[in-house]
């Protein structure tokens, strides 16, 4: 992509399912080149998407204004739960945005056989968020 540290770039977006890279800032004064480069590209596959189609779904990753590195990202695979990755909290491990506890700690207790409602209460996580996280974790394990 021509960017040394692409994952630290402020040209990353997410549409809720994929991480997208915006080439528009690389465009030159050439109108034809600008039109081609204004499309977003899916990082994983390199496939171009039309910004007009996904624009209402796009959210920007949060960046620190001082050092310009990514500060936090909301993980897109969860329907209800707000699961965040923040390098300053829990050593960058995914956490529940509502309670600030690590997803892995909550899942470990659930997988050890504890009741979902009890685990949710102990950690202060809404039961609907717990169910969403368990659903996503179960899909990965299957």
The pLDDT tens digits along the chain (142 residues) read 566 665 666 666 666 666 666 666 444 444 443 343 356 777 677 777 766 666 555 565 677 788 767 778 888 788 889 999 887 888 889 999 989 999 999 999 999 999 999 999 999 999 999 999 999 998 765 5
* Residue 104 parent element (H or E): helix 103-111
List the helix and strand counts (H, then E) for the chain.
Answer: 5, 9
Q: Which of 133, 8, 140, 22 is nearest to 70 (CA)?
A: 8
Domain boundaries, the chain: 1-69, 75-142
Q: CA torsion 118→120→124→127, rounded to 10°?
A: -130
Q: Which of 98, 94, 121 is nearest to 110 (CA)?
A: 121
Residue with tokens 């209460």: 121
* Residue 20 parent element (H or E): strand 19-22
* CATH number of this structure's domain 75-142: 1.10.10.10
Q: Please tell me the pTM assigned to this model.
A: 0.60
């Amino acid at each position: 992509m021509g960017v040394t540290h692409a994952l630290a770039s402020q040209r990353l977006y997410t549409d809720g399912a994929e991480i997208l890279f915006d080439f528009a800032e690389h465009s030159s004064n050439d109108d034809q080149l600008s039109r081609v480069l204004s499309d977003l590209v899916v990082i994983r596959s390199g496939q171009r998407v039309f910004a007009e189609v996904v624009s209402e779904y796009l959210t920007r990753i949060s960046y620190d204004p001082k050092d310009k590195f990514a500060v936090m990202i909301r993980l897109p695979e969860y329907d209800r739960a707000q699961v965040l990755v923040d390098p300053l909290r829990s050593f960058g491990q995914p956490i529940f945005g509502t309670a600030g506890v690590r997803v892995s700690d909550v899942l470990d207790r659930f997988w050890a056989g504890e009741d979902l409602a009890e685990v949710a209460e102990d950690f202060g996580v809404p039961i609907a968020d717990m169910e969403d996280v368990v659903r996503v974790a179960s899909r990965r394990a299957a």
